């Protein structure tokens, strides 16, 4: 069964179709939450909340955007809410670490912890840049989709992605020079 028919079935009250949809999008919601929340348990909580919202308001999905965009938007908003509840409202505040971005240590960069280094760099980004970069480069959303998820103009999305990537480039510069020789 195609995704569109699955969505239509779910909207018309077919619980099995809805549960299959939820199951399909659970890893995406969790991975987005993980990149946005910085904390594994919080990410799990946020993804659960987001998917419950998807479950309970499936009829609100009008099909004007991709279903994945709708799920990402709910997940993103849920993450913002949860961060606020955790008294850790860092959505609009730059991280301390980003004020003086330093390249990660050379040895560490060369180790098999490549993935961890990149994660650390992503986590060091201020939230608004991180959200844009994660949605674009990790979740694979288009600029228009990112704009819809973040509810901001495409021009803002472009500048956030550009700025976020530049910060990552600065933080990972030594490492990137090693893994991408001329």
Partner 1 sequence: MKNNCEYIKSLLSEYIDDMLPSDKTQEVHLHISQCASCAEQHRLLCAVVEELKVLPTEPLPPDFLSKLSARTDTLKGRRFSLPPLKGFSAVAAGLLLLLLIRTGYNYYSLSQIKTAYIDDAPIETQNNEPLLPDKPTEQVKEQKNIEENQDKSLSLGQNGIAVENSSNEKQKSKPEERTGALQEQPKDDKIEENSSQESPPDESDETEVTSEMAETRMFSLPVENDAGEDAQNSPRAARANAPAAGGSFYTAVHDNDQPSFVSVKIMVDDFEGAAAALAKKYGVKEQNGEVLLELNNDDFQQVMNLMLEYGARVEQSEENELLTANKCIIISKNRD
Residue 110, classed as helix, strand or coil, is helix
Q: Of the listed pieces 6-14, 99-107, 112-120, which binds partner 1 according to CB under 8 A?
A: 112-120
- CA dist 175 to 57, 98, 161, Å? 44, 17, 21
* Residue in 5, 16, 27, 102 binding partner 1, rule: CB under 8 A: 27
- Record the tokens describing residue 79, joined without a space: 């993450």
Rounded to a whole number of angstroms, the CA Rg of the chain reads 18
- Least distance between partner 1 and beta carbon 8 (Å): 17
Cβ within 8 Å of residue 65, ≥6 positions away: 145, 148
Does residue 13 belong to the site contacting partner 1 (CB under 8 A)? no
113 closest CA partner among 105, 125, 124: 105
Provide the binding-site residues for partner 1, judged by CB under 8 A: 15, 19, 22-23, 26-27, 30-31, 34, 40, 44, 47-48, 51-53, 55-57, 59-60, 73-74, 77, 81, 84-85, 87, 91-92, 114-115, 118-119, 122, 128, 133, 136-138, 140, 143, 150-152, 158, 161-162, 165-166, 168-169, 172-173, 176-177, 179-180, 182
């Amino acid at each position: 069964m195609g995704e569109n028919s699955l969505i239509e079935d779910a909207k018309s009250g077919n619980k099995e179709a809805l549960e299959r949809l939820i199951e399909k999008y659970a890893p995406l919601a969790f991975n987005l939450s993980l990149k946005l929340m910085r904390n594994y348990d919080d990410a799990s909580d946020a993804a659960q909340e987001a998917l419950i919202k998807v479950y309970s308001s499936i009829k609100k999905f009008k099909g004007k955007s991709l279903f994945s965009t709708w799920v990402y938007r709910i997940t993103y908003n849920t993450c913002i809410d949860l961060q606020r509840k955790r008294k850790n409202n860092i959505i609009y505040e730059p991280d301390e670490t980003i004020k003086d971005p330093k390249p990660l240590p050379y040895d560490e960069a060369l180790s098999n912890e490549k993935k961890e280094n990149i994660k650390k760099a992503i986590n060091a980004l201020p939230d608004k840049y991180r959200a844009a970069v994660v949605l674009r480069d990790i979740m694979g959303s288009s600029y228009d989709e990112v704009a819809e998820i973040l509810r901001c103009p495409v021009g803002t999305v472009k500048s956030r992605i550009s700025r976020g990537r530049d910060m990552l480039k600065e933080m990972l510069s030594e490492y990137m020079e090693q893994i991408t020789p001329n």
